[in-house]
Structure 1
Amino acid sequence: MKISREDVEKVAVLARLELSSDEISALTGQMDAILSYVDKLNELETDHIVPTAHAVPLENAFRVDEIRPSIGAENALFSAPDRVNDFFRVPKVIE
């Protein structure tokens, strides 16, 4: 076994988990299986694999910038609850 019952108990204390004896026994087996799987992954030959941050190459999905007319201040402020000239009036948040 790669992990002992005492290791699981220590982790439970650090995580502030109250585990029963049955739960500790079950977790010991489960955690041992996980660590065995990780050991198996460490056996893979990865010397010629380039490290990647993403599994799929990222591409810019933005559209091309085009100059278009805006909706204008009057239309933007049409349903504003409170306005001053061409601006929204909002509650003061900094005193």
Structure 2
Amino acid sequence: MTWIALILAGLLEVVWAVGLKYTEGFSRPLATALTLAAMAGSVGLLGLALRGLPLGTAYAIWTGIGTVGTVIFGIVALNEPASALRLGCIAMIIGGIVGLKLTTA
């Protein structure tokens, strides 16, 4: 259950990171409310995951999911560059996430 909470927390991190772009400096009330709700949910689920996972592992995976998801969203939806170097860096982050998962009880 802790891993599910952590994965959901990471996905909500993607939602709020992307949502920040659409708040337009927190001037759009609905986008702002949704972004703040995603932030609260993300941190809340991270807190639940920390009950059963080491801090360093959980935090690194949480931010890794958020980073990779946000970059992929930017590439797919916002036409951000998808250079070989950029994709290689994403692959290294994913490798780190998998490595941490495999080395955590």
Instruction: Indicate the structure with greater helix content.
Output: 2
Instruction: Indicate the structure with greater strand content.
Output: 1
| TM value normalised by structure 1 | 0.31
| TM value normalised by structure 2 | 0.28
Which has the higher relative contact order, 1 or 2, with Cα contacts under 8 A spaced 6 or more apart?
2
